[in-house]
Amino acid sequence: MLIIFGGLPGTGKSTLALRLATELRAFYLRIDTIERAMAEREDDYSVEETGYRVAYAVAEENLRLGLTVIADSVNALEATRGTWRGVAERVGVRSVEIEVVCSDQAEHRDRLQTRTALIPVTWQEVVTRLYERWTSEHVRIDTAGQSIDQSLAALRQMLPGSFDS
């Protein structure tokens, strides 16, 4: 199974994805990790598109090995979401899309400004970022006013039976 996480920076997406990967003993694939490693090697090269292409290939390879893969990225565009779904389709496994949001703007901003991130992002970059509305079938989890444990428990309830294969 391919579990596709998406959401703006600071919503709790990576924390939830990592916790779920640990619980499921799944292969965890984080775009920020790939992009950070690539950026350290390329001074003036935009790594975003290439980072996603690397992630798609690594995910596909691990899905072919029979592993559950959790993909963690902003996934701001329908095109990237569709490509993730295509990876699952090529391998013949199910995919589940999870959009993580924080509906409380003050809480979201505070989280963003107080976190330690692989790739630092400003609040201005978050609020002005192109983020296309999700049109595909997906689970949406709002982490506002919840601890990570509460959000993870809520997410598990939204996904009954999703991890049976």
Res. 42 pLDDT band, cuts 50 70 90 = low
Q: What is the pTM of this model?
A: 0.89
pLDDT at 49: 79
CB contact at 8 A, 145 and 9: no
Q: Does residue 80 belong to any structural domain of this protein?
A: yes
CB atoms within 10 A of CB 19: 17
Res. 40 pLDDT band, cuts 50 70 90 = low
User: Which CATH number do you get for residue 13?
Assistant: 3.40.50.300
**Cα 96 to Cα 149: distance, rounded to the nearest angstrom:** 20
Q: Does residue 91 belong to any structural domain of this protein?
A: yes
**Cα 29 to Cα 52: distance, rounded to the nearest angstrom:** 10
Mean pLDDT score across all residues of the chain? 90
Q: Does residue 116 belong to any structural domain of this protein?
A: yes
What would the DSSP string read from start to end of 36-65?
Answer: HHHHTT-SS---HHHHHHHHHHHHHHHHHT
> Domain range for residue 82?
2-157
Q: Does residue 164 belong to any structural domain of this protein?
A: no
Mean pLDDT computed over 140-156: 94
DSSP at 115: S
Q: What are the pLDDT digits (tens) for 102-136?
A: 999 999 999 998 888 777 888 999 999 999 999 99
Q: Does residue 43 belong to any structural domain of this protein?
A: yes
Least confident segment among 22-31, 32-41, 97-106, 145-154:
32-41
CB contact at 8 A, 165 and 1: yes
Q: Does residue 68 belong to any structural domain of this protein?
A: yes
Q: How many domains in the chain?
A: 1
pLDDT of 163 strictly over 80: no
Q: Does residue 106 belong to any structural domain of this protein?
A: yes
Q: Does residue 125 belong to any structural domain of this protein?
A: yes
Mean pLDDT computed over 63-85: 95
